[in-house]
Structure 1
Amino acid sequence: MNFCLIYKTTRRCDMNHKILLLPFLIIFITSTIYTQTGKISGRVYNEATNEPIPGANVILEGTRLGAAADMRGNYVILNIPPGKYDVVISAVGFVKTTIRNVIVSADKTTFLDVALKEEVIGLPEVVVQAERPLIDISQTSSRATITSDDISALPIANFQEALKVSPSNYSGYIRGGRRYETKYIIEGIDISDKYYEAFSGNYGGNLYTTYHGLSLTFRENVNLADVGVGAIEEINVNSGASSAELSQATGGVVSITLKEGRGKISGKAYFRYASRLPHKGPDLYFGQLPDGSTAADKYFGEKRALEAKGDPASLAKARLYSWTPGKYWYGNKPTIELETSVGGSLFKDLGFFTDIRFYETHGRFPNEFNRQLNITGKLTYNLTPSIKLTGIGFINDQGFYFGWKNRVFNENYKFFLEGVPKYTKGSFAISGKLTHALSSKTFYEIQVSLLTSPTEAGFVDSNGDGKVELNEDKGEFIKFSTPEEIRKYISKTDKTKFFTTTPRNESESEASFPSSGPYPLARPGAYYEYQRLTQVNVKGDVKSQITNNHLVSAGFDLKFYKLTHLRRYTVVGRFDVEDYVVKPYEIGFYVQDKIEYSGIIVNAGLRADAFNAGASEIDNYFAPYTVKTEQIQLGGANEVLTVNRYILRRNTAVKTKWLIGPRLGISHPISDKASMYYSFSRSMQIPPFSALYADAYAEMHGTLPNIWLVDQEPLKSTIYEMGLQYVISNYFGIDVSAYYKTIENYVPLAYGVTPRPGVAITYFIRFNGGYADSRGIELTLNSRALPIANLFKLSGKLTYAYSYIKSLVVSPDALRGQNVTAFSTLGGDSAKYGGKLPFENARYFAGYEMNVVSNLSSSFTGYDRPHRINLSLFFDFPSPFKGIPIDFRLSTFTTAASGFLYPLILADPRSRKLGEGPWNIRTDIKLEAGYSIGRIRISPYLEIKNLFDRENIIGYDRTTDEGQLLWEQKKIPTGPLGLTVFRDGTSAFDIAREIYFGISINF
């Protein structure tokens, strides 16, 4: 076993270990954590008399799953992995019947009543083709299901793009929840990014993007892992009130089920290619600015002016203007993707499925590069007729395990991209599950899993010459962990050293433009980061169909985390270090009864969740630190940096947070063509770890950072929902739902504290409070394949969503003493509160409700798009050539959303009026031709993103008043500097037209 995958810290595994990784990952027996299986139930009866047929056998072909009908002809089959099955029904004296392609989905009941014909000599076996139902009468809350067939047909490349078909989702935001409020689960393994640093941008995010060129987009992913789309059997987007089995999630739950190998060995190979990726908006170097010039004009103009001066200092600085057009690749290199999967039964009781995906892109902007390798394996083994072992293992590598470096573009450093840190990421998961059927109606599962996700970022000096050059990617990151490394690379006084202690504050190594923050020419800040999040999950469940009408389940869920965080960097004349390890944990228990009658289906459950931060809180907020002086030898002659480290005193243990939440869902089938559903849930979710620990253990200077309160309350949501499903005709079905959701502790708040008199040091401690409420309606219209004039078949889905989310805005009355947010020792607050702070008072703050607007960048919005429309259409053309087995499919996917909301600086603030950006509309298409030769199908295709090359504005420059005025008055999103990409790494525009060519081969 390659333990370096799990326990590696900063030393690379050797090549032998890397080679061993592939077979290990594919064969390792692993498991699921959450229930991701379905159920089939129904009645077997005599077609002629309608009498039940006791003892009729119902078998899922190619599996050990099945059941016998009882005296009333009723049967139930539990614990079925999602997928398509051929169901065989047989009984003595009756004709054997097979129903093909019956769809089973996770956490759903597929109702299948079967009428058998009495056996007559010469009567052949009956074979029936199942159709995907237009409505799901067992549905008790909103959920969108995306099958492997949908994924294969749509013009999408990964599971994040597949989520767009859900009306509840926009850019990762589900029904008012922020991105980190949505759980992402692969076969039960929770891959959600618990840290999610993009949330913590108030201090750390802005510091590192401003001074060190790190981008928020580098940290915006809310899932730690990925799998190839060829490995996915089904995706379920649970946006309503979830069942008691699902743990904390105040936004939604995205559950992914992987394919399972059954029957003959089969597979698929896939290739996708784009020659280049352009972008919308002005060229980053030669695009015209509002003053008529370009960034390149200003750059070369300054260089010529320095050369004209002729003095040694000016000439030395002129030599730093080393950028030339074409120095960095810029949207002109290809993007490629390869994926292959194979699976089936090795033996009667042993099945496997494995998928390998490789992806590489040079992006749309200068010097970008991202390479990913995904390996997924699933193994199932029926140890006995009643005991099944199931396994999942996957790796998602972005260079951490196999050694390459990825790069991001940063506007601050666009003329000196050597000064932008590179990064590697990875994730590795294994899990093992035992399923034991005590009877045909009762089973239990025991599951254990491990997920580890490391990240490393910084600079590489491959040849060890003390300089970081453009393409130096091989070898270790510079860790700045020894006196020798520090002296070799860092100096304030010796300008030959690559790194300075004052990045972006050194005039001799910066251009003179723009005035809002000149572009560096050399001498970035030193930076190294290592972070690893490891989680161990232990879970047990028991389910029993105690009667035909009651499926009772109960279980426990234990999660243990270990977060290791190390960051070393120079900034504002200092060398700072963040180094800590925390071990939070979660526990959960649930009980649930799924009650199914012909006229009503009820999911009733109760769940208890708890979280402990595994860290300590500040003892005395008015004396929060001790001072430790440290002297660091830098690279200049006799250069010593004196650093006063303000070390926070944290010795007060935090308490465990509990929530007991009821979960209730009701479906009322009015007929076989209509059903109403109602749901309610109460759930909680912990804040992202970045909002608990970021800067909490930092050793900082002067004014302390914005420190997050570790002992924060979790987010708590209450969801109410009702909906109606109706079959309009044999081809169309509709689902309409309305919801109301409240979220407690949604709003970030802060207290300002001045620790002691006579010292101008004020720090801010941030915590959550307040509330938000989200309301909306959603509509989904589904269509089966509809024949059009014998030319083609048309199917598709149309969704519409209207929503708004309002949150508490703390009133300016705080300035008049109504909302007290400032405390000081001099003012007597230390004595008054005994060294503590009255965080509980925040619940009584005066304020008003206002639509939520993103506080980071408009590229991170999603909950503020009131109107959203999705339309997917599939045109299936039969072979136009007689006798030639070739067919065609055209798939289109169109999204339309009203514009983002933004604050108006010219309007009267008392009006609380918000502006609204332009609508975003985009159409993607995929044209595929399929040619079949026996079991082999070859399908070349053309895929076009943003078919009409529409300019969709998704953000604007809000870093200066001038930028906001240009947007508000002239609708120019790029600001005075013509920023296509903003300094936090987000963009003003959605993608330009992109053209991909590909081929898939099924065998």
Structure 2
Amino acid sequence: MFNHCIKNTPFVITLFILALHTFSNLNAGSTGIFSGRVHDLSGEQALPGATILIENTDLSGKTDKHGNFTIVGIPPGIYDVQVKHIGYATTLCTEVIIKADINTKIDFPMQLQYTVHTKFIEVQAQQLVYRGTVATTHYITSNELNQTFAADNIFDSFRYLPGVFQSHFRGGKSHDVLYLLDGLPIISGYSRAIAFNIPISAIEDVVINPGGFSSEYANGTAGVVNIIRKRGRNQFSASARSYTDYIGNSPKYRDDFRRFEASFGGPMAINFGGPDIEMNYYFGLDFLATDTPKQSEIKKVYDEGAILSNVNISALYDFSLSKNNKITFQGALSKWENHDLSDAYSLTSQALSTQKNLHLRGSVNYSYNPSRSLIFHISLSAQKLHDEIVDTNLQAPDLEPQIAAELSQNEILWDMDADEKSYRLQAGFSKQFNKYINLKAGFSADFYNLNFHSDRVFFYQDSDTVDQHVPMQSQYHRSPNVFGVYSETGFDSRHLVVKIGARIDNFNPNSSVVTQNQGEIGTLSDLSFNRYVFSPRFFLGIPFNDKNQLFFNIGEYAQLPEFSYLYHGIGASSEAAAASFPLFGNPDLTLQTATSMEAVYQKKVARNFSASFSLYSREGRNALETGFNPIFDNGQNTLRYMDSASSTSRGFEVAFANRITPNLNLQAQFTHQEIKNENNFTEENYFHYLKTGQFPENVRQKSNWSQENIFMVSGTYRWHDKMQISALTRVESPREWFRENNTFLVTRNKLDWRNFTDIKASFNLWTGKYQIGPYIEIRNLFNTRFNEFEELPFLFGPSFIHGFQDQYGRRVRLGVQIF
């Protein structure tokens, strides 16, 4: 018979969660480690040969002569662990949390069998501070995404984090963040936007690093987001949910939103004519259809189906070739189709634009663990992205004369077709030399194949209020590549943790420079644009004891510019070259860099109450803007993308978490930050010059996303297994933002105090192996509505992953789920 309560056992197991110092993960950023020591309860004598079994998996380990054990390559999740030794009662440790890039350490005191009345002793892992942490790291779990948060995707969950405003991490632009899927990049080279929307039901953890991050990761200056997918275990599992806003909402607050998600996984054996090969799989999919808040306008010109539709598929297969050899195959698909009347696409208010995206990726990962102190891994991934924008002539009959007059020149307003193929090879190793010192190193190589065609016309009024139009054209095939190497050494003792790392990246755009001279297109092809960047990083952690720790990190970080800014204008016609100040790309753009620093103090105030205080700063360099390049253009009326802008952000974060009762959790967070930069969007100087004949003053001013004060309170109450209620309220202080582009004059907007409150309640009508029941979400409860600044790419279509309830008011959704 099990002993179910930790206080009734003769001892308490203390859980320490360490940062990645002992071993590298199985595949960069996708697995965790479990380690510790097994000893006799009475005399602290080490117990060699003890067996540690992670239930519902094939993972296990044994202790060495000192009683120490380490199990690597564990998929993130919550596990039960058995510890066995001859002559001792078996210990069952429940709710052991494994995180990606984290070493979870537990020491097990064992009791002799004859001193207890049961063969089993059950204890619960108790989580204290994240001892040994050297950088701010947030974890969003599968349970939070599916049951606690009102979230359609990972971006909806970011509002629960300190230091994050919309998709801006600590003052960086949204495209300054590197997005990974199981440790491999999933961003577009053209736009740097995340290219895949992974079904929430297929996600195990989302790991967010808004501060410093390991030298293993490149191509991001504001943070790293690693989406860890669920892995199949030795028992079949499944989950599903479906929800809509069609029930209970007035048409004013209804987007005809309907979504279905499902995921399932488990064990499987395959045979190729020999012995069976054991494997585990996990498969997830979701489907979304909505008419969006713009339906009242768009339905006048389009009524053939949902305005926005999205399909996402995720698949993962794990093969265990032997105890030390593992291979994983992964796949993902995301498909969007959207119809819009946005000014970003078209000249007239009734010219409908259609945007289509089909994104595919696959990868294979292999790991070899010849000993408990050495591990090798290698990964190969391929990604194919197809993005298309077409302006059509679908319009209501009564509006045809007006539209015909405005389109009398019969010009295409925006027609874009972009194909991007990318291939990534990365490999590395990790070696533990002794108890304190470890080394990891590796390399990565990215190869791109870009085919791009775009015809676009935009209109503006110049400084003499004369109507002008600028045709913008691009048609090219380019093959840029990036190579990088990294190394990182760590020292981990009881009261000091140090990591020193660095990486070197080389970028080659493989392109000539397009120029124009008196309306004729030419090229400067005898130039080479290889770029190297060196990025050192330093991390220091001081765990004073089990309840207090201080850490500091400072480092250099680099990222590629968006490829569309390198090659824009290649293949342009003479008409585009003769336009008033055409805008061309610049393959001489360097990698954007930033120096990031943070200092954090974390304290476990009481058993269920923790607090943290963070200071951070970020200095961005080589950011993109537009201007004249006298070397390439020799006084011609040509503007180019340049890399001379800069930015700064500074702030602090305070966070508290309190488990008031076993069923009630509360969190409170406050963020203050000041963000300044020289432009809010890349083409800002260009539009200003077209309308005024001069560039704006080049000084740092408050950015459009400089949200200085954010206060959040969130809580979750769970009543047995029957009901769970969660709520978040977020208060944002007043701020200003402005817009200046081809269709708007300089406009400044003042936003007052804003409150956003989300509530989610779920009910379990049936509990067993699976729980089934309805739930309700109320987003933006107090119906806060305003016109917010949107960061829209000028040369590329926007992403559809972000939500819209903040701008358009309250949304209510009803659904049913099984998990």
Output the TM-score relative to the length of structure 1.
0.68
Selected match of 2:262 from 340, 349, 357: 340
**Match status 1:441 vs 2:373:** yes
Match of 2:772 in 1: 938
**Match status 1:991 vs 2:808:** yes
SS at match of 1:407: strand
Q: State the distance in 2 between where 1:182 and 1:66 align.
A: 36
SS at match of 2:526: strand
Match of 1:254 in 2: 225
Cα distance, 1:330 vs structure 2: 8.7
Aligned residue identity for 1:663: R
- C-alpha change, 1:730 and 1:113, in structure 2 (3 Å) is same
Deviation string, structure 1 residues 340-365 (Cα, Å, up to 9, x no partner):
11111124831110001000000001
SS at match of 1:419: coil
Contact 2:308 2:339 in 1 (8 A): yes
Cα distance, 1:116 vs structure 2: 0.9
**Match status 1:87 vs 2:99:** no
**Match status 1:392 vs 2:330:** yes
- C-alpha change, 1:926 and 1:459, in structure 2 (3 Å) is same
Cα distance, 1:996 vs structure 2: 0.4
SS at match of 1:151: helix
**Match status 1:611 vs 2:510:** no
Contact 1:753 1:763 in 2 (8 A): no
Contact 1:809 1:847 in 2 (8 A): no
Q: State the distance in 2 between where 1:277 and 1:761 align.
A: 61
- C-alpha change, 1:580 and 1:331, in structure 2 (3 Å) is farther
Q: State the distance in 1 between where 2:556 and 2:471 align.
A: 46
Cα distance, 1:433 vs structure 2: 0.8
Structure-to-structure mapping, 1:498-517, within 5 angstroms:
509-510=404-405
Match of 1:552 in 2: 439
Match of 2:388 in 1: 456
**Match status 1:698 vs 2:572:** yes
Selected match of 1:77 from 71, 76, 94: 71
**Match status 1:874 vs 2:716:** yes
Q: State the distance in 2 between where 1:615 and 1:443 align.
A: 39
- C-alpha change, 1:570 and 1:672, in structure 2 (3 Å) is closer
Match of 1:676 in 2: 550
Match of 1:771 in 2: 646
Match of 1:20 in 2: none
Output the TM-score relative to the length of structure 2.
0.83
Match of 1:708 in 2: 585
Match of 1:850 in 2: 700
Structure showing the higher strand proportion among its residues: 2
Match of 1:896 in 2: 731
- C-alpha change, 1:95 and 1:745, in structure 2 (3 Å) is same
Contact 2:533 2:591 in 1 (8 A): no
Contact 1:807 1:851 in 2 (8 A): yes
- C-alpha change, 1:730 and 1:33, in structure 2 (3 Å) is closer
Cα distance, 1:421 vs structure 2: 2.0
- C-alpha change, 1:146 and 1:423, in structure 2 (3 Å) is same
Match of 1:39 in 2: 33
Cα distance, 1:468 vs structure 2: 4.5
Q: State the distance in 1 between where 2:310 and 2:738 align.
A: 38
Selected match of 2:354 from 411, 422, 434: 422
Contact 1:267 1:343 in 2 (8 A): yes
- C-alpha change, 1:98 and 1:256, in structure 2 (3 Å) is same
Aligned residue identity for 1:939: G
Contact 2:677 2:703 in 1 (8 A): no
Deviates more, 1:117-126 or 1:376-385: 117-126
Match of 1:358 in 2: 287
Structure-to-structure mapping, 1:729-808, within 5 angstroms:
729-746=606-623, 748-751=625-628, 762-784=637-659, 786-787=661-662, 793-807=663-677
Contact 1:278 1:364 in 2 (8 A): no
Cα distance, 1:808 vs structure 2: 5.3
Match of 2:216 in 1: 245
Deviates more, 1:681-690 or 1:353-362: 681-690
**Match status 1:431 vs 2:363:** yes
Contact 1:95 1:117 in 2 (8 A): yes
**Match status 1:593 vs 2:492:** no
Contact 1:55 1:91 in 2 (8 A): yes
Selected match of 1:567 from 444, 454, 458: 454
Greater Cα radius of gyration, structure 1 or 2: 1
Aligned residue identity for 1:888: M
SS at match of 1:728: strand
Cα distance, 1:895 vs structure 2: 2.0
Contact 1:393 1:429 in 2 (8 A): yes
Contact 2:473 2:569 in 1 (8 A): no
Selected match of 1:222 from 185, 193, 204: 193
SS at match of 2:155: helix
- Unaligned stretches of 5+ in structure 1? 1-30, 197-220, 280-328, 399-404, 461-466, 472-495, 499-505, 511-518, 619-623, 628-644, 788-792, 811-820, 823-844, 855-861, 879-885, 906-913, 958-984
- C-alpha change, 1:508 and 1:391, in structure 2 (3 Å) is closer
Deviates more, 1:158-167 or 1:174-183: 158-167
Deviates more, 1:800-809 or 1:182-191: 800-809
SS at match of 1:445: strand
Q: State the distance in 2 between where 1:667 and 1:48 align.
A: 33
Aligned residue identity for 2:617: Y
SS at match of 2:201: helix
Q: State the distance in 1 between where 2:451 and 2:203 align.
A: 31
Q: State the distance in 2 between where 1:412 and 1:749 align.
A: 19
Cα distance, 1:459 vs structure 2: 5.0
SS at match of 1:563: strand
**Match status 1:149 vs 2:143:** yes
Match of 2:600 in 1: 723
Cα distance, 1:192 vs structure 2: 1.8
SS at match of 1:599: coil
- C-alpha change, 1:182 and 1:76, in structure 2 (3 Å) is same
Contact 1:868 1:897 in 2 (8 A): yes
Match of 2:49 in 1: 55
Contact 2:351 2:395 in 1 (8 A): no
Q: State the distance in 2 between where 1:755 and 1:352 align.
A: 54
Match of 2:464 in 1: none
Deviation string, structure 1 residues 402-443 (Cα, Å, up to 9, x no partner):
xxx520133699997662221210110100011111112322
Aligned residue identity for 2:169: I
Deviates more, 1:891-900 or 1:270-279: 270-279
Cα distance, 1:469 vs structure 2: 5.9
Match of 2:157 in 1: 162
SS at match of 2:340: coil
- C-alpha change, 1:162 and 1:648, in structure 2 (3 Å) is farther
Q: State the distance in 2 between where 1:258 and 1:567 align.
A: 35
User: Larger relative CO (CA 8 A, sep 6+): 1 or 2?
Assistant: 1
Aligned residues: CA RMSD: 3.5
